[in-house]
Structures are given as C-alpha cells and as structure tokens.
A and B are shown apart, each in its own frame.
Chain A
Amino acid sequence: MKTLKNIIGTFILGAILLGNITAQADDLQTLKNLERERSNMIETLLDSKLAVDQRRTRIENKVRRLVDLERMVMRDSRLEGNTHNLVVRAFKNYDLTFLAHASVENDQEVVGHWMHEIGLSNEAILASNRGIR
C-alpha cells in the first residue's frame, strides 16, 4: 500500500512538473534558438578542418543570423522577469550571450571577443604547460 502511494505520488508530481516544463519551454523558444545558433557558430570557430576563408564566410553568415536572434531575445516579452535558469544565466553574462552586439561594442571580431570572454589569449596559451592537473 505504501509503495502504491509512493508511485501515485511520484506520478502526480511528474505530471505537474511535465506541465510546467512544457509551458516554460514555449516561453524560452527564442533564447533556445539563440543558444543553438551560438553553439553552432562556436563549433565553426573551432572546426580545424575548415580553411581560413571558408571559416570566415561561414561565420559572416552566422553573425548576421545571430544579430537577428539576439534582438529577438531582447524584444521577447515572455522572457521579462522569467526566473528560469537559462534566462538568469543568459542575462547574467551579456558579453557571452549577445556575442554579435558585444563584439561590435568592444570593437573586436566575434571570434576574438568570444576567446577574450572565456579567458583565452595568446599569452595565456603560450604560458600554459602540458601536464597532469
């Protein structure tokens, strides 16, 4: 009987959580699109198989899309005061979330800006040692 109660309780809790998650998922759509596009651009940045020109062309196309997506996120009223972890984190770090706009603001290429924000610099790379942490 106790097991049955536990299972029913879990089932109800699960249903409620699922309902909440589904409702929130729609609200976060623009932000998720931006995150997807951003990660795709970073993948392109780090793709060693691409030639320099190829990479530049691809990134230019992606930046244009990224600018639109960043503006969409900023204008999305559903995100206003939303306390979802994804929203909180996105607005906590403007420079990393809104890469395209922040890079122009800092007068840098998107690649350079992203590397700077995550703490990668020529000096840091050169000063690094290979070894067991």
Chain B
Amino acid sequence: MKLIAPFFKASVFAISIGCSFASMANALNVDWQPISSERLIKLPANVMERALEHDFRKSHLATKIKEVDTRLGTTQSDLSMIQQTIKQAEGETKVELRHQFLEQKSSYIDQMEAKQNLKRNELKTRLGIFKGLLFDMQTDRKRAQDPVANEVREKQRAARARMESIVGAVDESLFELASEEQSQYAQEYGSNMKKIKQLQLAIRQHAMHRSQNDGDELLTRESYIRQLLNDTESDLALLNQEDEMLGFMARLVAMDAQALQIELTYGNMDMNYENQEMASTKPVNMVDYFTN
C-alpha cells in the first residue's frame, strides 16, 4: 500500500499537469481555433485556402481585427481633418489643435499596435496550420514509400486481379451448390457497384473536377501548401517591418510632444536676442565713444 500511494500521487499530478497544459493551449488559441489539418488535407488544393479563410472570417479574431480597422479608419479621418484645421487656426486654438493632433497620432499608434498583434496571432495560426498540413503530407508520402507497404500493396493488386478473374466461375459453382440465389451482400454489392460507376462518371464530368485537374500549371498539393506557407511568412515579415515603422512614428510623436511642451512652457523665445544686445555693447563697438 505504501508503495502504491506515491505512484498514485504521481499519476494524479501528471494528469493535473496535462489538464493545465491543455487548458493553457486552449486559452492561447481561444480567438481562432482553425479546422484541423486532418480535415483540410482531404479538401482539394484550391478549396483548402478558401475553407481556411472562411473559417477565419467566422472567428472572434477576425471580428476583433474588423473592429480595430473601423477605429483606425475613424482615427485616420480625424487626423486628416485636424491637420487641415491647424493650417487655418491661430493662437490658443492652434495650440489646442496641435495637442489634439498629437493625441490622435498617439491613439493611431496604439490601435495599429493592437491590430498588428491580432494580425500576428492570425498569421502564426495560419503558419501552424500550413506546417501541420505539410508534415501530414510528408508523413503520408513516407508511408507510401515504405517498402513493406509497397510489397503488400503489390500482392493485394495481384490477389485482386486473380480473384476478379475467377469471380464468375465461383458464382456458378455456388449456384450449383444450392438452389438459393446470390447472398444479400452479393446482390446489394452488385446493384451498389452500378450506382457507384454512374457516380464516378458524374464526378469525372463535373466542372469542379475539371477545374482541379486542368490549369496551365498543375501544382501538386504539397507545393501549393508550401506556396501558402511562403506567402504567410512574407506577410509576417512585412508585419515586422510595419512594427519598425510604428516604432519610428511613436518616437516622432514623443519628440513632437516634447517640443510642444517646451514651446508652451518657454514660449517662442529668440535665443539670439540677448547675444545681439550683448554684441552691441562689446568693447570693440564702444571704442568710438572713448576716442572722441
């Protein structure tokens, strides 16, 4: 009993850790939980991206991005309006407007940063999905190249051909064995097979099927996913570049604010005024007073 107790405690501990990890994973991905790569992998290559996009647009994350976009639009129009007004304003009103302009710029940067974070979340989720898809495809390919599996497949093909060549003779011999007709399985299989052939023909003639298989450049599913992965990576790189841009913008806003504060505190002082006054009283300029 003494020996079992620590094992039991350890297993309870392990399960609780596992549960907390699972809940953490859910919490991280609560904004967009995309459809699994197992489901996506079954879709035709051209539908895969649409399905993912459709799934994303329905998500909470997409709604959030849309909301931030709307706010950004408002901020942008406010900025443009204030900028135009500043040009015509004077005195106290101009200072007030400049202050508002700075505030709007600062809020633009905050909103943009929030959007960038959401967008990064979206792109990273997409990356994860595409990497998962590629991994699944590569695993399938490796499995298809497995020599043992290939050997089995070859034997199955040979066995199927051998059985198909004898099916008629077996049915005849069964008919001789008993007066009964074919078994229920054989009857239903036969009628289903006819229907399946009709369906297969309809699939081959379907426009969707042709659009998947035609095309100037026939992309394999794997290269298509790799292309999507590259596109997402480049979007993420652009996002990082935009981040850098936002950093510079924030720095400029801070400097503008500092300049405005200094201007309001000390006014527009002419720093050369004192120097000019002092320059006129220098001994060299006073010499005339003393020589006459």
Find B170's partner among A60, A67, A83, A92 (CB 8 Å cutoff).
A67
Does B174 interact with chain A (Cβ within 8 Å)? yes
* Of A63, A64, A82, A105, the contact of B162 (CB 8 Å cutoff): A105
- Size class of the B contact interface (CB-based, 8 Å): 20 to 34
* A60 CB contact (under 8 Å) in B149, B177, B189: B177
- Do residues A88 and B148 form an inter-chain contact, with CB atoms below 8 A? yes
A81/B153 in contact, CB under 8 A: yes
Q: Indicate if the CB atoms of B177 and A64 lie closer than 8 Å.
A: yes
Docked Cα-Cα span, A64 to B144, in Å, equals 35
With A11-B11, A100-B170 known to touch, is A92 a contact of B155 (CB < 8 Å)? yes
A50 at the interface (CB under 8 A from B): no
Mask: chain A, 92-133; 1 = CB below 8 Å from B; 0 = not = 101000101100110000000000000000000000000000
Is A4's CB within 8 Å of the partner chain B?
Answer: yes
- When the two chains form their complex, are residues A4 and B163 in contact, meaning their CB atoms are under 8 A apart? no
Do residues A8 and B14 form an inter-chain contact, with CB atoms below 8 A? yes
- Among B14, B177, B186, the one with the most A-chain Cβ atoms within 10 Å of its Cβ is B177
Contact of B10 among A4, A60, A63, A92 (CB under 8 A): A4
Chain B proximity of A70: nearest CB distance (Å): 7
Q: Using a CB-CB cutoff of 8 Å, which residues 55-104 of chain A contact chain B?
A: 60, 63-65, 67-68, 70-72, 74-75, 79-83, 87-88, 91-92, 94, 98, 100-101, 104
Q: Could you name 5 residue pairs across A and B whose Cβ atoms are closer than 8 Å?
A: A64-B174, A64-B177, A74-B163, A91-B155, A94-B159
| Contact surface of A with B, Cβ cutoff 8 Å | 4, 7-8, 11, 60, 63-65, 67-68, 70-72, 74-75, 79-83, 87-88, 91-92, 94, 98, 100-101, 104-105
